[in-house]
Amino acid sequence: MRSERAVVISILGALCVSVSLSAHHNAATVYNLETSAEVSLVGTVTRVDWVNPHIHLYVDVKGKDGKVVNYAVEGGTPNSLYRRGWRRDSVKPGDVVTIANAAPSRNGTPRVHLGSITTAAGRELFSGRN
């Protein structure tokens, strides 16, 4: 009886771990991480989601055609960014920012993986991706 119970508990534990691992994506499946594909964007922050597992910034970027496109910018975990000097209010809605070394989405949607960001005041913050 005791060994059957241990087997059941082990199987349930393995299932829990596999479910949580499958929920997290590999950035390379979503973004083109090749250095030659990196893009830079300049725009106005419209929203900041400082939540686990990754922060997200939303930035209005004016294209060459004059149309404004709202980009989703995925950063690292709040904890890793905090250790790099970021704070919840480092970037706020209304701030004009320059995003550099960003990896574009593989499917062409207005979504990038953050490399670094420079505020209008000149403060540069790194995501740790590069």
Tens digit of pLDDT for each residue in 41-82? 999 999 999 999 999 999 999 998 999 999 999 999 999 999
Percentage of the chain surpassing pLDDT 90? 69
**Is the pLDDT at 96 greater than 50, yes or no?**
yes
Distance in angstroms (rounded) separating the CA atoms of residues 37 and 49: 26
Identify the CA nearest to 58 among candidates 123, 112, 127. 112
Based on the structure, what is the number of domains in the chain?
1
pTM greater than 0.75: yes
The answer to whether position 70 is within a domain reads: yes
Kindly indicate the confidence band of residue 29, based on its pLDDT and cuts at 50, 70 and 90: confident
CB 94 within 8 A of CB 56: no
Judge whether residue 6 has pLDDT over 60.
no
What CATH number does the domain containing 43 carry? 2.40.50.140
* 38: CB partners within 8 A, 6+ apart: 100, 101, 102, 103, 104, 115
Q: What gap in Å lies between CA 83 and CA 129, rounded to an integer?
A: 14
Domain hosting 36: range is 27-126
Distance CA 122, CA 65 (A): 27
